[in-house]
Structure 1
Amino acid sequence: MPDASLKLDQVSLALGGRRILNELTFDAAPGLITALLGPNGCGKTTTIRCCTGLLVPDSGSISILGFAPGSPDAAARVGLMPQSTGAWSGVRPGELLRYLASLYSHPHDPDALAAELGITGFAKTPYRRLSGGQQQLVNLAGAIIGRPEFVVLDEPTAGLDPHVRRSTWDLIRRLRDAGAGVLLTTHAMDEAEQLADHVWLMDAGRIVLGGTVAELTREASLEEVFLAHTKRGDA
């Protein structure tokens, strides 16, 4: 892979007396879509929180675009789409996107981005009243409006109907084609197969396998490889 935009080296973290990350080591390259796959409870979301500075590992190191996670330099260049954003509960999507755009020097036009993602029709509805799929679209728009160099997408198409899901795939591909690195978590094997340039398979807080989709699926489907190398996660 090219020089890494994101690099984790021997990262470990325990929460509540339980080891969540266990000497986790992997990287993600600029201009590529990297998929981080693993069962529920394996530590994917905790990994993302460490990569964005929301959690601090007990040991190991993380570098994102050459900066420390959560630092001002990193925050200005990294877009994050979390699984949920309760802090946006009372905000209307249109107002939110215009506010977020004001924080960046060269943002996407918020109205144009809202139109592309199909947000315009509910742009004046409070976030808390949106469906799960609509909230996902607002989350995605918030992650990319500042034209980030690296984007972290935590299950970006969860709850989306097939039409919107495919449109979201196209948008993620365009991010990559514009030179941004993308770290993607998903439980959908078809999504990883369609989008990922590189796949890391995670289980029990560590990487158990990595490679391109073609490399990993020479003798079995990606789902079969997943099942063979991971244990059933927490529901």
Structure 2
Amino acid sequence: MHAAMTRAWLIGAGPGDVELMTLKATRALAQADVVLVDDLVNPDVLQFARADALVVHVGKRGGHPSTPQAGIVAQMLEHVKAGRSVARLKGGDPFVFGRGGEEQQALQAAGIEVEIINGVTAGIAAPAAIGIPVTHREHSQGVVFVTGHCAGNGEPDWAALVATRMTLVIYMGMRRLNDIVSALLAAGMSAATPCAAIESATRPEQRHALARLGEFADAVARAGLGSPAIVVIGEVASLALARAADDASGSANNETVAR
């Protein structure tokens, strides 16, 4: 490919369901010479890549061995400088806990323009998959996306977040769920606050657990839920609770309801 046509994309693949990818994402993927793909991306989305594209798996997931971030950036730079167009394919949205900002900065520092293609982030898609709207005029004036994975970055100010009275959507919070629940209760959040955890949202293996904050960590443990999962804490989660109560069989979503 002629160097003048070289391009780089940071593409959000969405939360898991291939049909939740954007049209723009599929078009860019069809142009790329090289595709660097994250572990959490549904491999079925690679159907949109060129048949002759070089596909490189660069895993990034909590608690597992993964390609160092610097190594991923180095690979992107190497390919682009060699005249190849590169698509960096990430789960969800590249700019929501996806390190897309770091990769954009590194590429720009090397004089390479990068196009950002948004994806549907799991923090919105996972709650929606079980009927939870992250905002609702009767329940919440807003939503806060926060990471529960605090390696090297300090703890979120849980007391300040509780004080907002907004919906809390927690990414990467499953391994520290006991600590997070304890911090929220210590900060004055009611033990009766509705909560949900959704694992593998929008995928066929999707599962979830629903409980009040006081019993939430135990309910999630009993259900055997693990990563990748999204945690929702706030009154809007009561809409899923209501839906679960209406579902007498409880089997439609393979759900676990704790009361």
Q: Does TM, scored on the shorter chain, surpass 0.5?
A: no
What is the TM-score with the length of structure 1 in the denominator? 0.30
What is the TM-score with the length of structure 2 in the denominator? 0.28
